[in-house]
Amino acid sequence: MNDAALNSLSDNLLDTLRCQPIRSYPASQLATLHNCCPADILFAVDLLRRSGYDIKSGREERFRFISAPDLLLAAEITHRLTTSFVGRTVYAYNSVQSTNSVAGKLAEAKAPDGAVVVAESQTKGRGRMARPWYSPEQAGIYLSIILYPEINPADAPGLSIITSLALADTLAGYDPSEISIKWPNDCLLGGRKTAGILTELSADLISVHHVIVGVGVNLNQRRTDFPPEIRRTATSLRAETKTEIRRVRFLRRFLKQFENNYQRFCRSGLKPFRRRILKYSSLLGKNIKLDMQGTIIAGKAVDIDRNGNLVLETSTGCRTFSAGEVTVVKNHRR
Ligand code: BTN
């Protein structure tokens, strides 16, 4: 049996075994069910165990499913996933330079709409403003979603905004303190960054060829795990809730929220999201500085408009901005 056939047999075997986890199955019965010989079943069980599945062997070569690992494996992500197209195809890797780079190449090769690239770690994870994204093994989620939306290229920044809302709603399910979104799309818990989004677009003037929505979420890192330069500004869901997070479950929940938002956004733009955008915004009413590639604008954040732009009250009147890096200005008491 070649590698592809063995992988496919182990996926199907997994479905059979966990369909009724209290039951144990003899290898001979599994072989009949999967149209192979009992020795192939033993190879497939071995492969599953090496991937982290706990499968118990009993008398007379009987097998029983005990538990699945919390690893970002394609079979785990798609198991019980309730989306209609997002995450239906998963490309899962142990380590890549950047899931966005892998996804970009897959999109050029016409990977399916909604396909997801995930990795247990990244060696060159990248963030906005060419910053690195800290991507240690098995602590967070690093994923990229491949999309072919029929939208105007000018509306693409809205995709980052609806992604940050999907993240905020997923985080809310874990009941952490104070979830907010720092415009345009950083997700914060208790004022510290927990998730970031890097949306990359391939388009011409009138149409979008593909979009890669890259998402990094800090889930199980401890505060002290973060490198010194971000330790004061970063956090993880586990650090905030004091509970270990099942990453696969988080990912499935996020993909479902994302798909709902994405379908709505493609139909109606950002308009239906305005209430939630304002609810989560960490900036409204605050004095900020906006850095637009070296040009600094100071003002008070007064609104996020229906196109997702930040509205600032400045010394020369209200001005609207579609991009930039925000710093909140602290009021110093004399
Ligand atoms: C930011 O806040 O600056 C955006 C961070 C985006 C990080 C994610 S991790 C998965 C995907 N692959 C990357 O190289 N970057 C994004």
Order of all β-strands in the sheet with 192-203: 90-96, 116-122, 140-147, 208-218, 192-203, 186-189, 179-182
Q: Looking at ligand 1, which atom is closest to the CA of residue 129?
A: 3
CB atoms under 10 Å from CB of 26, counted, come to 16
Question: Domains of the chain, with CATH numbers?
Answer: 3-67 (1.10.10.10), 74-280 (3.30.930.10), 287-328 (2.30.30.100)
Enter the pTM of the model: 0.92
pLDDT at 306: 84
User: Using one digit for the tens of pLDDT, what is the confidence trace for 199-216?
Assistant: 999 999 999 999 999 999
What pLDDT score does 332 carry?
60
Q: Could you read off the pLDDT of 261-305 as tens digits, one per residue?
A: 999 999 999 999 999 999 999 999 999 999 998 899 999 999 998
The residue type found at 87 is G
Contact call for residues 304 and 310 (beta carbons, < 8 A): yes
Phi, psi of 208, rounded to the nearest 5 degrees: -90, 130
Residue type, 78: T
Predicted confidence at residue 22, as pLDDT, reads 80
State what percent of residues in the chain have pLDDT above 70.
Answer: 99
Q: How far is the CA of 288 from the centre of ligand 1 (A)?
A: 24
Helices within 20-156 (DSSP H only):
27-33, 38-50, 74-78, 99-108
Question: Could you give the residue ranges of the DSSP H alpha helices within 124-273?
Answer: 157-172, 237-241, 247-268
Closest atom, ligand 1, to C-alpha of 128: 3
Q: Which atom of ligand 1 is nearest to the CA of 196?
A: 2
User: Distance, CA 70 to ligand 1 centroid (Å)?
Assistant: 21
Taking residue 297's Cβ as centre, other Cβ atoms within 10 Å add up to 16
Comparing 2-6, 233-237, 261-265, which segment has the lowest mean pLDDT? 2-6
Report the pocket of ligand 1 as residue ranges, CB < 6 Å.
98-100, 122, 125-128, 131, 133, 142-144, 186, 196-198, 214-216
Q: pLDDT averaged over the chain?
A: 94
Report the DSSP beta bridge partners of residue 147. Answer: 211
User: For 110-145, what is each residue's pLDDT tens digit?
Assistant: 999 999 999 999 999 999 988 999 999 989 999 999
Query: What percentage of the chain carries pLDDT values higher than 90?
Result: 89
Q: What is the pLDDT of residue 58?
A: 85
What separation in Å is there between the alpha carbon of 128 and the centre of ligand 1? 7
Alpha-carbon distance 247 to 215, whole Å?
A: 14
Strands 317-321, 325-328: parallel, antiparallel or unpaired by DSSP? unpaired
| Tens of pLDDT, residues 23-37 | 899 999 999 999 999
Return the pLDDT at 251: 98
Give me 63's structure tokens: 């097998």
Residue 139 CA to ligand 1 center (angstroms) comes to 15
Per-residue pLDDT tens digits for 186-198: 999 999 999 999 9
User: What is the best residue among 120, 133, 181 to mutate for testing ligand 1's pocket, by most ligand atoms within 8 Å of CB?
Assistant: 133
